[in-house]
Amino acid sequence: MRKSRAKGFTLVELMIVIIILAVIATVSFSFFRGNSDEAKVSSTLTNLRILSEAIDRYYLDHNATYPGTIGGVTNWSNFVIHMTQTTNRDGSVKGPYGPYIKRKIPPNSLVDSNTGTIKRALFIAGSSYGWYYDHTTGQIWANSCEEISSPEIAIHDDIPPAEEPEHEPDHLPIVH
C-alpha cells in the first residue's frame, strides 16, 4: 500500500513567502512615499505661482497697490476678498476688476491649508498657516513645516527678496 501524503505548504515555506512579501511592501512603500512628497512640493510651487500671478494682476489693476487692505485694515481676510471677488481701483468690493482667483485661495499641500497671515514676523515652525504674505512688497511664501529637505525654493530666484528675516524661516519663498 502507498502512503498518502498531505497536500499543503510547510511552515518554512510559508515563512519565506511572508518575508518576501514584507520586503516588497517596504520597498514599494518607501518608493511611493517619496513620490508623494515630490507631488506635494510640486503642487505647492504651482499654487505659489498662481498666487504670485494673481497678486501681480491685482497690483497692475489697482494703481500699484498690493491686495490685503480695505478701509485701512490689513489682514488675511481682506487679501482673500481681493483675490476672490470683484473690486474697484480703491480695493472696495463689487467693482470691474477681478476676481483674480476663482472661488478660493489654493491650498498649500505641504501643510494642507489655504489659510494665511499677513504679518511677516510670524514665521513659526509647525505653524498651521499655509501661506505667509507681505502686503508691502507683494511677496508670498508657503509654510513648509520642515517637511522637505530644502527649506528655501524660490520661484523667481533671479530677483532678490526685498528683505530677509533674521533667522532662516521654514517656508518656500516666492519673490515678487
pTM score: 0.64
Which three-class secondary structure state does DSSP give residue 174? strand
| Pairing label, strands 116-117, 131-134 | parallel
Rounded CA gap, 82 and 105, in Å? 11
Packing angle, helices 11-61 and 76-84, rounded to 10: 80
Rounded CA gap, 55 and 49, in Å? 10
Helices (H), 64-176: 76-84
How many Å separate Cα 34 from the centre of its chain? Answer: 17
- The three cell numbers locating residue 129: 498657516
Rounded CA gap, 47 and 40, in Å? 11
The amino acid occupying position 71 is G
pLDDT values of the chain reduced to their tens digit, one per residue, 176 residues: 566 666 888 999 999 999 999 999 888 877 776 677 788 888 999 999 999 999 999 999 999 999 999 988 888 899 999 999 999 999 999 999 999 998 899 988 888 887 777 754 444 444 567 888 888 999 998 887 543 333 343 333 333 344 444 444 455 555 44
> Please, which residues have CB within 8 angstroms of residue 159's CB and are 6 or more apart in sequence?
175, 176
List, as one string, the DSSP characters of 19-40. HHHHHHHHHHHHHHHHHHHHHH
